[in-house]
Amino acid sequence: MNNPGSQTAPLLEIRNLKTWFPVRRGIFSSVTRHVRAVDGVSLSIGRQETLGLVGESGCGKTTLGRTLLGLDRATSGQVLFDGKDLLTLPSRARQILRPRLQMIFQDPYSSLNPRMTIKGIVTEGLVEHRLLRGTREQEAIRLLGEVGLPPDANYRYPFEFSGGQRQRISLARVLSLRPEFIVCDEAVSALDVSVQAQMLNLLMDLKERHALSYLFISHDLGVVKHISDRVAVMYLGHIVEEGRTEEIMDHPGHPYTQALIDAVCIPGRPRRRKIILSGEIPSPINPPPGCPFHPRCPRVMDVCRREYPAECRQGTRRVYCHLCGPKQE
Ligand code: SF4
């Protein structure tokens, strides 16, 4: 898979991003603790690049995606889109940029107004942002064609479509605003395997046709492997490993990545001793000291309980583990 994004400045750069939610208690609702959903994430996504974001449910993937779009409020850090920090940009400037960043969700039905026709749904954003050229009807037919739906879908309602077709309608609505960056949050997870494959192919076609970049959030490593140029692995609000897809899938550097890969059947994967993941992901309200993965790691050492692992670079890959590099015991 090519990676045009690596040759130019990144479209999106996330620097030490934190999204903490306050936990309130008592009659005065005072803040006693925080849920550290995203806890110091740094990532970059190039133009026309797909970054797969994987991890167990509750690791902070969705909150990260929502924070980038301004749907959850960041506690600190920077989100540079085309060089501009979305977190400090004046609201008017942010509104102008906003159509260029979009999101599609796992459950398209809940994000489509059941009382509106498909024509109304897919052109709603165009009217709101005053981007409509020509009639709503013409624009809706063009957008439906982009996602492989017939023109007569225009006059129907969301309940008349299957899950896969509804996800296509969500995509048409998102495309209407001519985005450059789309967060796909478990966008194919609820679909049958055959429909999943069609949707992934459509996403890849659209990426080529419209020079899109994706943050593709999924718990399904097989799907992520299929669509992503690079993969980032998230655990308890932190990125624990990030690199080129083949590199991560074939030779994971972090024990958590290895356990995730060992838990699924991925064709063509090199054989090695398996790591079986046990126990639950700890609470993000009270994360463990040192390496966040240490209570579940079969290769845990004393240093892991005390010190957060520094970034360890191996070529284009980065890993956060004391086993990587000179800090080994
Ligand atoms: Fe396991 Fe230690 Fe590496 Fe964390 S730093 S993944 S506990 S070996």
Surface-to-core class of residue 72, CB atoms within 10 Å of its CB (0-12 exposed, 13-18 middle, 19+ buried): middle
Tens digits of pLDDT across the chain (329 residues): 444 444 578 999 999 999 999 998 888 888 889 999 999 999 999 999 999 999 998 899 999 999 999 999 999 999 999 999 999 999 999 889 999 999 998 877 777 899 999 999 999 999 988 888 889 999 999 999 999 999 999 999 999 999 999 999 999 999 999 999 999 999 888 888 889 999 999 999 999 999 999 999 999 998 999 999 999 999 999 999 999 999 999 999 999 999 999 887 666 666 666 777 777 888 999 999 999 999 999 999 999 999 999 999 988 899 999 999 754 44
Q: Does the C-beta of 177 come closer than 6 Å to ligand 1? A: no
Which two three-digit tokens encode residue 128? 């709101």
CA–centroid distance, 321 to ligand 1, in Å, is 5
CA–centroid distance, 294 to ligand 1, in Å, is 6
CA–centroid distance, 64 to ligand 1, in Å, is 23
pTM of the model: 0.90
Alpha-carbon distance 260 to 267, whole Å?
15
Q: Does the C-beta of 238 come closer than 6 Å to ligand 1? A: no
Task: Name residue 183's beta-bridge partners.
Answer: 103, 215
Domain ranges of the chain: 12-115+157-327
Q: Does the C-beta of 301 come closer than 6 Å to ligand 1? A: yes
Fold of 12-115+157-327: Rossmann fold (3.40.50)
